[in-house]
Amino acid sequence: MNLLRTDKEVALNDLLVASRETADHYQDALEYLDDHPITPALRDIMQERLSVIERIEQAIRALGDLPSMPDPDRETGEMLLHHVTAALSSDSATEILEQRIKAERHLLALLKACSDVGLDSDQPQLLQEMAQQVHRVITRLEQLEA
């Protein structure tokens, strides 16, 4: 492992950290919403994301780097803010869905950044499948929101 990361390693690690954060936030939403009717869909989305995370970790190792982890303090703060925002909302589930859609759109931006640094030539299948997954998730979340 080098002390300095290449642009490809940085982009892939950013994608990994954000993907892990989304999985953690889906888990948090499941606990917050408890037995709400949308929890099975959120659980499915979280499981799909966890399988992609493993593949991103493998791709990072293939580049000769070690996978990064999210900042736990920052994540806890974000979750607390999400809880407060959802609690103040007239519809907590809708607020949580909006938060998840925003996070998914952030993943799309990170996927574009991966392509911009040339990772689409190194990991074309992974990035393409993940982009398709994120688009499907956004559609599903928007349907749950309606």
Task: List the chain domain ranges.
Answer: 7-145
- Inter-residue contact 30 to 89 (CB < 8 Å): no
In this structure, the number of other CB atoms found within 10 A of the CB of residue 133 comes to 17
Question: pLDDT tens across 23-73, in order?
Answer: 999 999 999 998 899 999 999 999 999 999 999 999 999 988 999 989 888
Provide the pLDDT confidence category of residue 101 given band limits of 50, 70 and 90: very high
Q: How many residues does the chain have?
A: 146
Tokens representing residue 33 in the block: 């919403």
Residue labelled with tokens 């994301």: 49
User: Does the pTM exceed 0.75?
Assistant: yes
Q: How far is CA 114 from CA 46, 72, 85, 127, 142, in A?
A: 22, 24, 31, 8, 25
Residue 27 to residues 123, 128, 144, Cα–Cα distance (Å): 28, 25, 17
For the domain bounded by 7-145, which CATH number is listed? Answer: 1.20.1260.10
Sign for the pseudo-dihedral over CA of 129, 117, 74, 58: positive
Q: Give the model's pLDDT for residue 2.
A: 57
